[in-house]
Chains A and B, each alone.
Chain A
Amino acid sequence: MKNLKLKAARAAKDLSQGDLAELCGVSRQTINAIEKGDYNPTINLCVAICKALGKTLDELFWEEENDEE
């Protein structure tokens, strides 16, 4: 499932996928895959992304029940 919250948070900070990847120590393709929903990151990477974007885990990675339906 696509992670639109992550994409929106990244865009709000005016960061490219490559910029965010560099901040988190991963490849651009990993950030791309997370946003597309093709890859589920580990908790460590989730925390690194949250720190880079100044958001909480809930704000970026929590899935609401209506999202799951």
Chain B
Amino acid sequence: MGEILTVIVGIAVIIVFVWAMKKTRKVQPHFDEMQLQLRAKGYAAAYVTTLIGMGSFMLLYETGKIDFIDPAVCFMAVLMASVAVFAVYCIRHEAFFSIGEKGNYYMLLCAAVVVLNGISAATSIAGGELLKDGRITFSGGAANVLTGLTFLAVFIALLVKKLGRGSEADE
């Protein structure tokens, strides 16, 4: 019961945080027509990733190949993979940030999320919480690992884009 409450509180905190960020934003994000098209392709790629991921896990579970992983971990892996696919696709095609938006704040946020989740995951794994009865559990650090990896992928994509932008010539 305590775990469920923690999850609910955590989700509520995230929702309030995102709502507050949107409300306090001085300028509403504006994507141009090409960015909207690219973002639509990004969403499609993320959707396909979800379908393939869910289908794969269904088959693997049915055949008993991945009994050692908690289903919640698999669901979260698919969720995080699709988020990463969308984010990386949009970052690569300059459609992640709206016009005039800088990426430095998001890079710092990603780095912070990676570090915090990394520490949390390391603590859980060191404490032997990751494996319970021979299964990789959701609350035992797997969620932190998946979140950290996702934000790491986004951070790397942002960094590569930022470094590459310096060499782009304005024709």
Contact = CB atoms under 8 A, between A and B. Distances in A.
A26 B170 contact: no
Interface string B93-118: 01000010000000000000000000
Contacts of B33: 26, 30, 41-42, 44-45
B133 interface: no
Interface residues of A, number: 18
Nearest to A11: B171
B139 interface: no
Contacts of B35: 27, 30
A41 B112 CA distance: 38
Contact of B171 (A17, A25, A41): A17
B32 A18 contact: no
Interface string B64-105: 000000000000000000000000000000100001000000
B171 A26 contact: no
Contacts of B171: 7, 17, 32, 35
Interface of A: 7, 16-18, 25-30, 32-33, 35, 39, 41-42, 44-45
Interface of B: 30, 32-35, 94, 99, 170-171
A33 B34 CA distance: 9
30 contacts: A7-B171, A16-B170, A17-B171, A18-B170, A25-B30, A25-B32, A25-B99, A26-B32, A26-B33, A26-B34, A27-B32, A27-B34, A27-B35, A27-B94, A27-B99, A28-B170, A29-B34, A29-B94, A30-B33, A30-B34, A32-B171, A33-B34, A35-B171, A39-B34, A41-B33, A41-B34, A42-B33, A44-B33, A45-B32, A45-B33
